[in-house]
Structure formats: C-alpha cells, structure tokens
C-alpha cells in the first residue's frame, strides 16, 4: 500500500486546471497519473506515483548526491 513507483512524464493534460493529469511511463507500462500536487513538472521529469497520484518530483540533484556518496564509500574510509 505504501508502494510508490518512479515514472517518467511523457505528456501533460492541462484541460482541467483543478485536476492536472499526465501520461507517465513506468518501465513498459504507461498510466494516467494526477500531477495536481507536484509543482513545476515538465515532460521528461520523474515523479513518484502512488494509487494514481504523483507524490513528489524526484529530486535529481539529491539522487545524484546520494549515489555519488555511496560509490565514494567504497573507495575511502569516510562515512556518508
């Protein structure tokens, strides 16, 4: 139930300003997801989707920071 999955925005439907929707790709599957609660998303952005709603826009900078630090952990003695 808590499972939310990252997906890539393929297109945005702004026809109802109270209920912004997007077509989002999750691997091979494509679903309609409500993006009303995530600010400033564009085609190509990744969002985290759960039961048909986008919970957040995935922060690419934070993702990179985390992964870089984890890779670094293997090469030096310093902690994250």
Partner 1 sequence: MLKHLDEYRDKRLAENLVRSIESTLTRPWTIMEICGGQTHSIMRYNLQELLPNEISLIHGPGCPVCVTPIELIDQAVELGRQTDVILVSFGDMLRVPGSKEDLLSVKAQGGEVKMVYAPLDALEIAEKNPEKEVVFFGVGFETTAPAVALAVKQAQIRGLENFSVLVSHVLVPPAIKALLEDKQNRIDGFLAAGHVCTIMGTAEYISLAESYQIPIVVTGFEPVDILLGIQKCIILLEQNHPGVENAYPRSVKPEGNPAAKKILKEVFTPVDRRWRGIGTIPQSGLKLTAAYQKFDASARFRLQHTTAEEPELCLAGEILTGRKKPPDCPAFGNQCKPDNPLGAPMVSSEGACAAYYRYQKTDRS
Minimum Å distance from CB 29 to partner 1?
A: 11
Q: Applying CB under 8 A, does 66 fall inside the site for partner 1?
A: yes
Contacts of 1 (CB under 8 A, 6+ apart): none
- Percent of residues in the chain assigned helix, strand, coil, to nearest 5: 20, 40, 45
Q: Applying CB under 8 A, does 62 fall inside the site for partner 1?
A: yes
Q: Would you call 14 helix, strand, or coil by DSSP?
A: coil
Residues that bind partner 1 (CB under 8 A): 1-6, 8, 18-19, 27, 31, 34, 36-39, 46, 48, 50-53, 55-56, 58-60, 62-63, 65-67, 70-71, 73-74, 77, 79-80
């Amino acid at each position: 139930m808590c499972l939310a999955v990252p997906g890539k925005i393929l297109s945005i439907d702004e026809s109802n300003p109270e209920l912004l929707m997007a077509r989002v790709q999750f691997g091979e599957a494509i679903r309609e997801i409500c993006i009303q609660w995530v600010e400033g998303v564009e085609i190509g952005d990744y969002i985290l989707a759960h039961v048909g709603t986008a919970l957040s826009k995935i922060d690419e900078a934070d993702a990179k920071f985390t992964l870089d630090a984890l890779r670094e952990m293997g090469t030096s003695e310093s902690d994250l």
